[in-house]
């Protein structure tokens, strides 16, 4: 999984019907000290995350499991309280 | 998922039969401000996207779900109205 | 999917039995203008491609679908006639 | 798989219920000589690893197999005694 | 798939039971001329490869197929006799 910071949101009118009602979060993949490694991925929120939150993002087929079968490849599965290195 | 801009199309005569009638879109993966991160991926369109549209691209096995089982690894699943960061 | 140029072939005597009779194509991942992005991937040919052809490569589990279940992670699924950007 | 060094841990209160009780390890992907290739991935521990251990990390759907079906994409599946190159 | 050179081996005492008896090979991903693209991946050997051999590595869920269901994400599926570009 990746450590990500939520930096914004995206909205879409034309989309697959399965995406209706899902929150699309713009996230930066970060290292443990906050340096951005990969900017601006999009993940579906599964845990009530908001802008500025540090989260755990899962990718690939596990994102479907985390979202009850949506056709997505990235989901937020935890809000991180602490990262200690 | 990735934020992508549709920059063109590709055509093919010799192809797997499952691809017949599918639109092959050339897209650039971008960050939230339009900087190109990965150029020239190819995705199947599931939402009626056209050249110049900002879209959401899903990769991996989720692309098959988004396209009713095509043997593909990338599909456009939304046209983005707004990306706010 | 990725735009790739076929640059050669590979041969192997010791291999999984499922690979017998399959053509192993060496390909460069390119952008829409022919710049090499990732050199020397290996893909199984599903469409009769030859050296010099511009093709569409699918990766991951979709490559198995495109090849009737071979244990592979990359397959050529179309010969591109035109890429217009 | 990847050679990784465990450099820390992460904790989360808000998370998918499946993650309850799982140890979230922060790891650096390394080469055989200890040079960091990709910093700060997060993997679930399946083998009792601790901070400082050199481990083998599996990614993608195999991580679910290694963890009895958790919705994760990275797991530690071995503690490496020796890497000889 | 990727062209890889076997550069060493790894051993582990603490590991998932499914890995018992499997050879863990350290490999460098190379281009067709031997330039290292990605150092020090770890793959399970399915074809009797040894140090110095040029091999074909499959990644992702196909690695499980190549290894009768092991929870791994990379396997060697052929020893390459010749790469001609």
Question: What are the pLDDT digits (tens) for B50-69?
Answer: 999 999 999 999 999 999 99
Is E46 in contact with C16 (Cβ distance < 8 A)? yes
ipTM: 0.96
E32 with C72: Cβ contact below 8 A: no
Question: How many residue contacts between A and B have a Cβ separation below 8 Å?
Answer: 90
* Residue C38 CB neighbour total at 10 angstroms: 14
Per the domain annotation, does C84 fall within a domain?
Answer: no
Split at pLDDT 50, 70, 90, the class of D64 is very high
Could you tell me the end-to-end alpha-carbon distance of chain A, in angstroms, rounded to an integer? 16
Residues of D with CB under 8 A from a CB of A: 7-16, 19, 24, 26, 38-43, 60-61, 63-64, 71-74
Nearest CA in chain A to B46: A16
To the nearest whole Å, the CA of A51 is away from the closest chain B CA by 9
User: Which SS3 state, helix, strand or coil, does residue D59 take?
Assistant: strand
- What SS3 state is found at B23? coil
- What tokens appear for E6 in the block? 């076997």
Range of B20's domain?
Answer: 2-79
The Cα B81–Cα C2 span in angstroms is: 26
**Per-residue pLDDT at A71:** 97
Partner residues linked to D75 by β-bridges: D44, D58
d(CA E55, CA E26): 12
What is the Cα–Cα distance from E60 to A63, expressed in whole angstroms? Answer: 16
Between β-strands C2-15 and C54-59, what pairing exists: parallel, antiparallel or unpaired? antiparallel
CATH number of the domain encompassing residue D53: 2.40.50.220
Residue at B51 is within a domain: yes
Distances, alpha carbon A50 to alpha carbons A38, A83, B5, B38, B75, in Å: 19, 18, 26, 27, 27
A33, burial (CB in 10 Å: exposed 0-12, middle 13-18, buried 19+): exposed
Distance of CA A54 to the CA centre of its chain: 10
Which residues in chain B have their CB less than 8 angstroms from residue C69's CB? none
Distance CA D70, CA A1 (A): 12
State the DSSP code for B20: T
Domain contains D76: no
pLDDT at D13: 95
Q: What's the average model confidence in pLDDT over B31-46?
A: 97
Residue D53 included in any domain: yes
Question: Does A62 fall in a domain?
Answer: yes
Q: Which residues of E touch D (CB under 8 A)?
A: 7-16, 19, 24, 26, 38-43, 60-61, 63-64, 71-74
Q: What is the dihedral of CA D45, A66, A69, A39, to 10 degrees?
A: -100
Q: Environment class of residue C14 by beta-carbon count within 10 Å: exposed (0-12), middle (13-18) or buried (19+)?
A: middle
Q: How far apart are CA E82 and CA A82, in angstroms?
A: 51
Helix (H, G, I), strand (E, B) or coil at B32: coil
- Tell me if D79 is assigned to some domain: no
Q: Do E32 and C15 touch (CB under 8 A)?
A: no
pLDDT over 90 percentage in chain D: 100
In a domain, D46, yes or no: yes
Q: pLDDT tens digit string along E5-61?
A: 999 999 999 999 999 999 999 999 999 999 999 999 999 999 999 999 999 999 999
E70: helix, strand or coil = coil
Question: Chain C interface, mutation test: which of B8, B52, B72, most C Cβ atoms within 10 Å?
Answer: B72
Q: Do C41 and E78 touch (CB under 8 A)?
A: no
Which phi-psi region, left, alpha or beta, contains residue C40 (left: φ > 0; alpha: ψ -120 to 50)?
left
Q: Are strands B74-84 and B36-45 parallel, antiparallel or unpaired?
A: parallel
A16 phi/psi in degrees, rounded to 5: -60, 145
Closest CB from B14, B40, B42 relative to C48: B14
Q: How many domains does chain D have?
A: 1
Task: Give Cβ neighbours of residue E43 (< 8 Å, ≥ 6 apart).
Answer: D1, E4, E24, E25, E27, E55, E57, E63, E72, E74, E75, E76
CB-closest option in C56, C61, C79 to B42? C56
Q: Is B85 inside a domain boundary?
A: no
- Distance of alpha carbon C73 from alpha carbon C75, whole angstroms: 7
β-pairing, E36-45 with E74-84? parallel
Q: State the burial class of residue C75 (Cβ atoms within 10 Å of its Cβ: 0-12, 13-18, 19+).
A: buried
Q: Kindly report, residue by residue over A33-68, the tens digit of the pLDDT.
A: 999 999 999 999 999 999 999 999 999 999 999 999
pLDDT in tens, chain C (85 residues): 999 999 999 999 999 999 999 999 999 999 999 999 999 999 999 999 999 999 999 999 999 999 999 999 999 999 999 999 9
**Chain B residues within 8 A of A14 when measuring between CB atoms:** 47-49, 78-79
Cβ-defined contact of C56 to B64 (cutoff 8 Å): no
Backbone angles phi, psi at D63, to 5 degrees: -65, -30
DSSP for E29-69, written as a single string: EE-TTS-EEEEEEEEEESS---TT-EEEEEETHHHHHHTTS
Nearest Cα residue to B7 out of B67, B50, B47: B50
Buried b (16+ CB within 10 A) or exposed e, D15-31: bbebbeebbbbbbbbbb
Instruction: For residue C74, list chain E residues with Cβ-Cβ distance below 8 A.
Output: 1
Q: What is the mean pLDDT of chain A?
A: 97
Which residue in the set C7, C41, C71 is minimally distant from E77, CB to CB?
Answer: C71
Chain B partners within 8 Å of A39 (Cβ)? 31-32, 37
E34-68 burial string, b = 16+ CB within 10 Å, else e? eeeeebbbbbbbbbebeeebbbbbbbbbbbbbbbe
CB contact under 8 A, A12 and B56: yes
- Distance in angstroms (rounded) separating the CA atoms of residues D77 and A49: 30
Q: What is the dihedral of CA D52, D56, D60, D62, to 10 degrees?
A: -130
- Chains B, C: CB pairs < 8 Å: 91
E58/C19 Cβ within 8 A: no
């Amino acid at each position: 999984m990746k450590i990500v910071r939520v930096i914004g949101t995206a909205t879409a009118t034309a989309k697959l019907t399965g995406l209706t009602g899902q929150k699309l979060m713009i996230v930066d993949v970060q290292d443990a000290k906050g340096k951005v490694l990969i900017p601006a991925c999009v993940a579906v929120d599964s845990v009530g995350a908001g802008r500025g939150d540090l989260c755990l993002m899962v990718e690939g087929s596990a994102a479907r499991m985390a979202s009850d079968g949506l056709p997505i490849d990235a989901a937020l599965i935890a809000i991180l309280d602490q990262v200690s290195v």
